[in-house]
Structure 1
Amino acid sequence: MFSTLISAQELAHIKDQAKLVIVDCRHDLMDAAAGKNAYDAGHIAGAMFANLDQDLSGPKVGSDGKFQGRHPLPQTDNLISALRRFGIDHDSQVVTYDAHGGMFAARLWWLLRSIGHSAVAVLDGGVAAWSALGHALQTESPQPALGNIEVRVALTRQVDVTQVLVSLNAAADQTFQVVDARAADRFRGENETIDPIGGHIPGAVNRFFKDNLDANGLFKLPQQLREEWLSKIRDPQSAVMQCGSGVTACHNLLALEVAGLSGAALYPGSWSEWCADASRPVATGPN
């Protein structure tokens, strides 16, 4: 079973496995159609396409009328419907990939773990690593039978905006340490193009998700990731991962699992939800 990363060589070895389901998660935050267009132009044989906005996210406004961020988690019933449409069974080995270092594929990895499915891995290096082995991409879209995956005990933790706010108001609270996966300029509040309200949650530290990758776009080795993360966080059990909208934060959660540092939580609403309420505190500048 692959539960964190899978190399292109390993995927080639198991590509004919009956219970293998491959899901293409390519996306572009600036062009919502780009992912599907790339999939249609060529994808790994047998791969299904998961749309970040439609399949892997929920309504931006909750039933209470409050803004929940740019990419809230999908409602469980909707997520299960999408996963079954992809042909995922309770015993499927799922492989997710993208063309962006895993930043979108990690979202599906986390979502599957959130419903108790552990046999899911991100293709290290994405579609480029697959093509580098000489494998041609195909344009035919598979039509799998509906899967039977169902909700089991979650393998993840998450916190909401109220829990984050309460932790900030607790003078000696050691149960939260927020880690922001956005680029440093966004964290400091210097990129108004992407974040009209710039800055970060007070007390947060910055760990750009791309820092988990080496110069070749592959995940760093577990020991290196472990050393880097332990210089950033006190304890994974007290760490809360966030980003702009809860997507790239999953990349940091994946890196922690690779490093053997399990237990960190996701704040799904992340900065886009946090800064939507002017009463919530904002910090600028470096860590």
Structure 2
Amino acid sequence: MRPLIGAEAAAELHESVRLDVRWTLGGPSRDADYAEGHLPGAVRLDLDRDVCGPVETLGGRHPLPEPEALQAVLRAAGINDDSHVLVYDDGDGMAAARTWWTLRWAGIDDVQVLQGGIKAWTGAGLPLETRTADPKPGTVTVRPGHLPVLDAEAAAEWAETRELVDVRAPERYRGEMEPVDPVAGHVPGAINLFLGEDDLADTERLRERYASHPEAAYYCGSGVGAARTALAVTAAGLPTPPVYIGSWSDWVSRGGAVATVPTGGSQAESKEEAR
């Protein structure tokens, strides 16, 4: 199944379970936006509260959820094992991609992201509603492990033996600035391929971009941007790649070695501890 779907095609899938996962990094919950208007029948899920696990000392800012907790959330949303799930956000694909990735990891195959998000839906003249969804409880069983996941040890090995790709902005990769996490830099041995504003619908361009990295695994700051890259790779018709889901926030929480790229110089490494 193609991981992306347009608004008009999605509107024809009347039995879909629709998930509103609009989200802002470091911002307040978007529950109020859901109350103001959402796709008809859509259930509200919050990325931090419902899709990811609780933040602890180790594990990063968006750790994997416990399977039992995720299963309870998805059943409450009305998802069964044979449900088609439509996920949408504002349109940048970040929260929707991480939700798509998490559901695929959990063994749910029939999941698609609404290309362009809620803006594409309203831009196509399709209606919204304000009524809070009250779905019949579902019976889905979460079966984790259906997508390849790296932990910190595996990511370090991948960087040495294959290709570990950091999709954050180049200045964060180089260690020149870090607006979110306590340490700047990147995993030693990783290369940088900035996620940027890839058009997820331009499958030919995506294929050209990612086909030259057939053994790559991806990471970002906390596993959201990397999940969007995994969505982009999959949309290009390539195998869904491994993701270091804890990403940089997990790496520095464990005091991992830090590499930087000095101005005009080559990559430098240190054993700087996370602060």
Structure 1 and Structure 2 fold alike (TM over 0.5): yes
**Alignment counterpart, residue 22 of structure 1, candidates 5, 18, 24:** 18
**Alignment counterpart, residue 242 of structure 1, candidates 197, 201, 219:** 219
Identity of aligned residues (%): 38
**Alignment counterpart, residue 74 of structure 1, candidates 61, 65, 84:** 65
**Alignment counterpart, residue 86 of structure 1, candidates 77, 88, 99:** 77
The alpha-carbon deviation at position 164 of structure 1 amounts to 1.8
2:176 maps to which residue? 190
The alpha-carbon deviation at position 12 of structure 1 amounts to 1.7
Question: How many residues align structurally?
Answer: 264
1:5 maps to which residue? 4
Matched, 1:60 2:55: yes
2:206 maps to which residue? 225
Contact 1:200 1:284 (8 Å CA) reproduced: no
2:273 maps to which residue? none
1:147 maps to which residue? 138
For 2:91 and 2:124, locate their aligned partners in 1 and report how far apart those are by CA, in whole Å.
18
For 1:105 and 1:279, locate their aligned partners in 2 and report how far apart those are by CA, in whole Å.
29
Matched, 1:107 2:98: yes
Contact 2:45 2:51 (8 Å CA) reproduced: yes
The alpha-carbon deviation at position 188 of structure 1 amounts to 2.2
For 1:138 and 1:190, locate their aligned partners in 2 and report how far apart those are by CA, in whole Å.
45
The alpha-carbon deviation at position 229 of structure 1 amounts to 1.2
The alpha-carbon deviation at position 158 of structure 1 amounts to 0.3
Q: Residues 140 and 205 of structure 1: is their aligned pair in 2 closer, same or farther, counting only changes over 3 Å?
A: same
1:216 maps to which residue? none
Q: Residues 137 and 144 of structure 1: is their aligned pair in 2 closer, same or farther, counting only changes over 3 Å?
A: same
The alpha-carbon deviation at position 183 of structure 1 amounts to 2.2
For 2:118 and 2:177, locate their aligned partners in 1 and report how far apart those are by CA, in whole Å.
29
The alignment's TM-score, normalised by the length of structure 2, stands at 0.89
Unaligned runs of 5+ in 2: 268-275
Equivalent position amino acid for 2:225 in 1: T
For 1:183 and 1:100, locate their aligned partners in 2 and report how far apart those are by CA, in whole Å.
20
